[in-house]
Amino acid sequence: MSRFEETLGTLLDAKLAPLRADVRTLSLAIECMRRNLPPVLLPVREAAQMLGLSESTIRRHISQDVLPSRRIGHSVRVDMSALRPLTAEEVEREAHRARIQVPRSRGSR
């Protein structure tokens, strides 16, 4: 190796050292975040607790294909990774649908 190549290698190593340290730091941070994430597939009971719903509501939503789920052996797991918050339009549409489905009492006409 020529003297030029050695000098160039030394300069590159010096310039890349902070970047390598940053990559190591970010890798550790990502791994820490990954460990703190909730599990993706939850049993019905845990999904109900996390979503603030009853187990029977979770099971009904699963049977109606409203809630994504996976069967693992004999158990059912709720796929929490497939859930997403409703958009404003979806909230409006669901509220409208709920108002239509509420039966009116005879005195309110």
Please check whether residues 32 and 47 belong to one and the same domain: no
Supply the pLDDT for residue 103. 65
Measured CA distances, 105 to 99, 100, 109 (Å): 13, 13, 8
pLDDT interval class at 106 (50, 70, 90):
low
Answer yes or no: are the C-beta atoms of 80 and 69 closer than 8 Å.
Answer: no
Tens digit of each residue's pLDDT (9 = 90 or more) over 78-91: 998 888 777 888 88
- Domain of residue 48 covers 41-101
Cα atoms found within 13 Å of the Cα of residue 12, Cβ hemisphere only: 6
Q: Tell me if 109 is assigned to some domain.
A: no
Q: Tell me if 108 is assigned to some domain.
A: no
Please check whether residues 25 and 52 belong to one and the same domain: no
* Averaged confidence pLDDT in the chain: 87
Please check whether residues 54 and 90 belong to one and the same domain: yes
Tens digit of each residue's pLDDT (9 = 90 or more) over 65-78: 989 999 999 999 99
Tens digit of each residue's pLDDT (9 = 90 or more) over 24-40: 999 999 888 877 876 68
The radius of gyration of the chain from alpha carbons, rounded to an integer in Å, stands at 27
Please check whether residues 63 and 18 belong to one and the same domain: no
Q: Is the pTM of this model over 0.85?
A: no
**Rounded CA separation 46/12 (Å):** 51
